[in-house]
Structure 1
């Protein structure tokens, strides 16, 4: 273990030394192989106000990414990452009160095999083509769409395998299409077929009030994503996105964002509107209701809005989201975070109906020193946890507070950046709570401290 840890710290430094030596003896002509090496150290801890199991973990990852120089628009790229559990509490032990497993710290490693202290994963392997107006990627890659995206961070993001096409005919329009056949969710060491990937994370309860049984029983062969972005003016952007999950669901998102100049001030008024419509398809993953991921008769809608101010030194906005319709709004947590304006890192409002969420965000930048501080505050009013048809995860209404800071050194430590997140979730439901409605959910303090170190060479 000590040798492995030393290796992942020394390897990037050795590459940096070689790159520096090479630069001093050769011309500045780009080499055929370009790449980067990176380290991520991630400390996470969770403690509760009541007598539940507290946990902590220090995870380490190291990646190497290589890319060939373009040849007539074509290139190859690959990325391999290794992961290590340097120190942690007993993440495989159940909480003695609820009998449930840890939710947060285990996500730094492989949630399917938390006993595995070290593992590796081939995250990217792709053939790329790029021209002035068109680009294509085939293979393993990262994509960033409203419902399939890298998520909000652990040791490594979510990757997909398939085909991604992008076409930008002019300065105002951009079209993209994605076909996904396999997914490697963050916090896992493997690659899964689309149906197999649903249920890698905890399932929650079925609409029948029993534990969901869709893990390993979901039939879905592919995901397609179509996206159009249209720049109406320099400050107004419209987006239309359709995410189709074979045999499960169809989700249509429309969104408009506009920044308005406030005459006589450096500020801009920030506004945004979002509407999402989702309905079930086929068998919902399985004809057996006990093994079904989504009810094919579901018809859900989400409205989300934003208003705020921004200037070069600060951002502030206030947001509102309403989830309604028939059945639960569902988007596999294994595939990415939700796109609602009210999203706050370390929690989501997916798997529910009859939801009202209000959040605010403030960010202050200090460009000269490399510091950024920010804060989130939110109120999330959910259905009663006992109403399983509307509340998949048995989550009480809650308030969430996040305080964060980022630091990128400008005078020293090139390639380094630091990020700290302090988070607390507080129960808003009156009356006595079941322990299962508290553990992993509310009345907690959660701490993240992240250090990234990246070196690139050309």
Structure 2
């Protein structure tokens, strides 16, 4: 869908509101006497984002940089008898950039990270970068809501929006949310997706495998793209909180591919948080019917991960230590087109997904300045997995690596309320293998990110 069509659709929703004579507060009670009241008392919100990224690869490998500018605008109607509708469009422009398609002379590869600010499925596309992100109906009732359409979802440990580029993951389906003081329950079926850094909407058989398919445990390249015959993903979540305890259980069934159960227990004391996560994954029986190289998960694999956390917060300071173990019963897998894993050791530019028989540790330290307006955070992660070439537990053939992230986040206030500045530095380096074909676009790089967001 073109940007012009998206804007026309939003204007069709919001046109009556533009000419409203009086300001309003969405929280106020409005008497709805005619259909136009739903629009004149509706709500517009959005954001503008500028993202500069510069990746400096090791030695003589080629460096890249780019600057992307974009934004989103959303409108939702005033609820009437609990029913509301919403629409949201998002767009991106390239303002200045290196030639992201100029190949590196040593490896023949081109930019990876910078392309993810635009269209990761079409490296020639820097112009048609708009997307209809939301178009939904929502019914609100006393203890929850029900939503159908292209919608914003509640983040879960695996299925999530992960808005770390110019466009997040976006989802279409149905979502039921129930909540009271101590319990929360979510049930969802998602049947279409627009992955992060893409502009089109896909059904699941089209979407799963858009990213690199990796390798099978026996070392042959995997070819499951457009072979999964999957119709969607079902999600169930239960959350409980009481007297310092937090319990969360998520179950995911990706049609014809796998089941994952993931439990999370946390205990909070003044200034302290302790937690443990455990995930268990088993393949769907349909996988056995496929040719070996077309399987997403092998029938004899059982993905298992345990993750633990100890965290201290006081007087603006934050310190935590986390450890994750992916067991040797199989690789832990979740499609990169649907979100990113959120274990306690998970940080930006690093994933556990794709590994088995691996150890991950993360140390974090941070400080809030000026009553939380300015925040400094440093993260250090070590991923100790199989060696390059040992593909039984290494889907993407990665070397063990270290990662250092440093962030400075400034949330402005008063006249500049809604403006958020983020300076984000990344250093990632392999522990054993520095072959250019292994590290280019994946490791042994420094990356500088400057992200400016304005929310309204």
The answer to whether TM tops 0.5 is yes
1:251 aligns with 2:260: yes
Change (3 A) 1:407 1:49: same
Seen in structure 2, the aligned counterparts of structure 1 residues 27 and 92 have a Cα distance that, compared at 3 Å, is closer
Residues 303-314 of structure 1 correspond to what in structure 2 (within 5 A)? 303-314=306-317
Q: Is the 2:107–2:437 Cα contact (8 Å) retained in structure 1?
A: yes
Partner of 2:172: 161
State the match for 1:434 in structure 2: 435
Deviates more, 1:212-221 or 1:391-400: 212-221
Unaligned runs of 5+ in 2: 8-13, 27-39
> For 1:116, which of 103, 110, 125 is the aligned residue?
125
Q: 1:14-25 to 2 correspondence within 5 Å?
A: none
Aligned to 1:274: 277
Q: Relative to structure 2, which stretch is displaced further, 365-374 or 139-148?
A: 365-374
| Aligned equivalent of 1:139, options 116, 137, 149 | 149
Q: Report the TM-score when normalising by structure 1.
A: 0.89
CA contact (8 A) 1:55 1:91 kept: yes
Partner of 2:33: none
For 1:191-230, what aligned pairs fall within 5 Å after superposition? 191-230=201-240
1:342 lines up with 2:345 in the alignment: yes
User: Which whole-Å deviations, capped at 9, do the CAs of 1:72-104 have from their partners, x for residues lacking one?
Assistant: 111001101111122222223333322334221
CA distance in 2, matches of 1:142, 1:94: 37
- For residues 302-343 of structure 1, the C-alpha deviation after alignment (integer angstroms, 9 at most, x for no partner) is 010001211251221100000014221100111111121000
Contact 1:142 / 1:158 at 8 angstroms: preserved in 2?
A: no
Are residues 369 and 153 of structure 1, via their aligned partners in 2, closer, same or farther at CA, if it must alter by over 3 Å? closer
Deviation of 1:428 (Å)? 1.2
Contact kept, 8 Å, 2:167 with 2:198, in 1: the verdict is no
Q: Residue by residue, what CA displacement relative to the aligned partner does 1:189-239 show, whole Å, maximum 9, x if unpaired?
A: 111111221111222223232332122222211100000001132x21000
Cα distance in 1, alignment partners of residues 168 and 145 from structure 2: 22
Which of 407, 412, 422 aligns to 2:410? It is: 407
Q: Distance in 2 between matches of 1:258 and 1:100?
A: 47
Task: Find out whether 1:86 has 2:95 as its counterpart.
Answer: yes
Aligned equivalents of 1:226, 1:98: Cα separation in 2: 44
Mapped to 2, the partners of 1:329 and 1:369 lie a distance apart of 36
Q: How well do the aligned residues superpose, as a CA RMSD in angstroms?
A: 2.2
Counterparts in 2 of 1:343 and 1:400: CA distance versus 1, 3 Å: same
CA contact (8 A) 1:150 1:158 kept: yes
* 1-structure distance, mates of 2:256, 2:55: 38
Aligned to 1:26: 22
Calculate the TM-score normalised by the size of structure 2.
0.89
* 1:173 and 2:183 aligned: yes
CA contact (8 A) 2:82 2:139 kept: yes
- Give 1:158 shift: 0.6
1:148 counterpart = 2:149: no
The unaligned stretches of length 5 or more in structure 1 are 9-14, 262-267
Runs of 4+ in 1 over 6 A off after TM superposition: none
State the aligned residue count.
429
Deviation at 1:286, TM superposition (A): 6.8
